[in-house]
Amino acid sequence: MITSLWAGLATGSIYTLIAIGYNITLTTAGVLNFAYANIVMIGAFVAVSGLALGLPIWAIFILAALVGAIVATAEERVAVRFLPKGDHAELITTIGASTVLTGATALIWGNTALRVDLFPQVPLQLFGGSVQPNSIILIIAALVLGVGLHFFNTRTKFGLASLAHAFDRESTMLRGVNVRWLSIVAFAASGALGGLIGPLVGMTTTATPFIAITLAIKGFIALYCGGVGSQAGAIIGGFGIGIIEALANLWLGPNYGDFAVFAVFLAILLIRPQGIVGTRMLRSV
């Protein structure tokens, strides 16, 4: 039971981290970057290659963040910058970008799942359940990032300016905020973050190109259940979904985790469409 809870928190931390990445671009550029999970996976693959080359761990993280930032910026330039207004075009282009990245990672690193061994994993006994040290790091990272960005968005001028942009691009532009620049910075920052956490996520999931889309979808559900645009919501949604999935797998059987997540998602859609902590919805979602 406790071990299951730990497992739930561990996968939940990954969903939270994905949801946080979505929120960064959503609340600044107004675009949900469906390819974000692919960037995380690229970070994991960079770690695999870095380890093979014998790079030190700090260098691996820096390299992963750098690659993530470059890929995300390139994506912004190609798939987001020229988006026509309305029509849900971003769905198509970012799903397209995600598909390209999945294919490209499979071409570069192959189809098989690769282990990411940054440091030796010895399960710890905590509160009567066993948990991998890496999972603890991920849980802490998700909490720290989520809480930190939540306060950044709600307490700082830059955070508020970017929120304003997401809600009303035109008037923000008139107020002298450079929205083009904001969009690029948001993608680069979220890409760097995605690359940075990639090696850690890869230690849990292994590095494999085809898991990205599952993470992308679960991350969206976490984002949505918590409340679109809210980093605090991302924490609640991500960990909530992770725990529900783990417990359903434990109590109902190994195939029921996804059903439980789907049921919760549909229930929230029907009962509380703005999400658990959400107050209003971004127009684009």
Partner 1 sequence: MSTVKVETRRGGSTVAARRIPRFVTALLWVVVIAVIAITPLLGLDDQTQRQVILTAIMVLLVSGVNLTFGWAGELNMGIPAMYAAGAYVGGYLYIHVLNDVVVGVIAGGLAALLIGIITGVPGLRLGGWVLAIVSFFVVILIPSILQVIPANVVGGSVGLIGIPAPMLFGQPLTSQGFFAFVIVVTGIWFAVYRNIVKSRVGDSLLIVQEGRVLAPSLGLSRYRLKLMAYAVGAIPAGMAGALYASLDRFIGPESFTLQLAINVLAASIIAGRRSIYPIIVGAAFVQFINVRSSDFAQYGLVVFGALLIVGGIAFAGGIAGLGRRLLKLVAPKRFRRGAASTATQSTARTDSDYAFPALPGKLLSVVDVRKTFGGAVALDGVSFEAKPGQITALIGPNGSGKTTMLNIINGFYPVTSGTVSLGERTISSMPSTKVARQGVARTFQTPVVPNGLKAIEVVASGHLASKSVPLIATILRLPFYGRVRRSELEEAHEILVQLGLDQFEQQPGDSLSLGTRRMIELARSLASKPSVVLLDEVASGLDTHEVIELARVLRLVSRAGATVVLVEHNFALVRSLADMVVVLADGAVLTSGPPAEIEKHPEVLRRFLGEMAGLSGTSIVATPSTTAKGK
- Please tell me whether residue 87 binds partner 1 under the rule CB under 8 A: yes
Q: How many residues bind partner 1 (CB under 8 A)?
A: 46
Tell me whether residue 144 is exposed, middle or buried, using C-beta atoms within 10 angstroms of its C-beta: 0 to 12, 13 to 18, 19 or more: exposed
- Residue 152 within binding range of partner 1, rule CB under 8 A: no
Binding-site member from 123, 128, 148, 273 for partner 1 (CB under 8 A): 273
Residue from 220, 225, 236, 278 touching partner 1 (CB under 8 A): that is 220
Q: Taking the complex as a whole, how short is the minimal distance between the CB of residue 218 and partner 1, in angstroms?
A: 9
Residues 33-62 close enough to bind partner 1 by CB under 8 A: none
Task: Give residues with Cβ within 8 angstroms of 87, minimum separation 6.
Answer: none
- Cα–Cα nearest to 220, from 204, 206, 210, 233: 233
Q: Does 280 bind partner 1 (CB under 8 A)?
A: no
Q: Which is nearer to partner 1, 55 or 217 (CB)?
A: 217
Query: Within positions 250 to 269, which residues make up the interface with partner 1, using CB under 8 A?
Result: 255-256, 258-259, 262, 265-266, 269
Binding string, 7-36, against partner 1, x = CB under 8 A? -------------------------x----
Tell me the window of 82-90, 113-121, 158-166, 189-197 that interacts with partner 1 (CB under 8 A). Answer: 82-90
- Which of 53, 103, 125, 144 is in the footprint of partner 1 by CB under 8 A? 103
Of the pair 112, 156, the CB lying nearest partner 1 is at 112
Closer to partner 1 by Cβ: residue 141 or 225: 225
Task: Please report where in the chains the tokens 């399960």 appear, as a residue.
Answer: 123
Binding site for partner 1 (CB under 8 A): 32, 78-79, 82-84, 86-93, 95-104, 106-107, 111, 213-214, 217, 220-221, 224, 255-256, 258-259, 262, 265-266, 269-270, 273, 281, 284-285
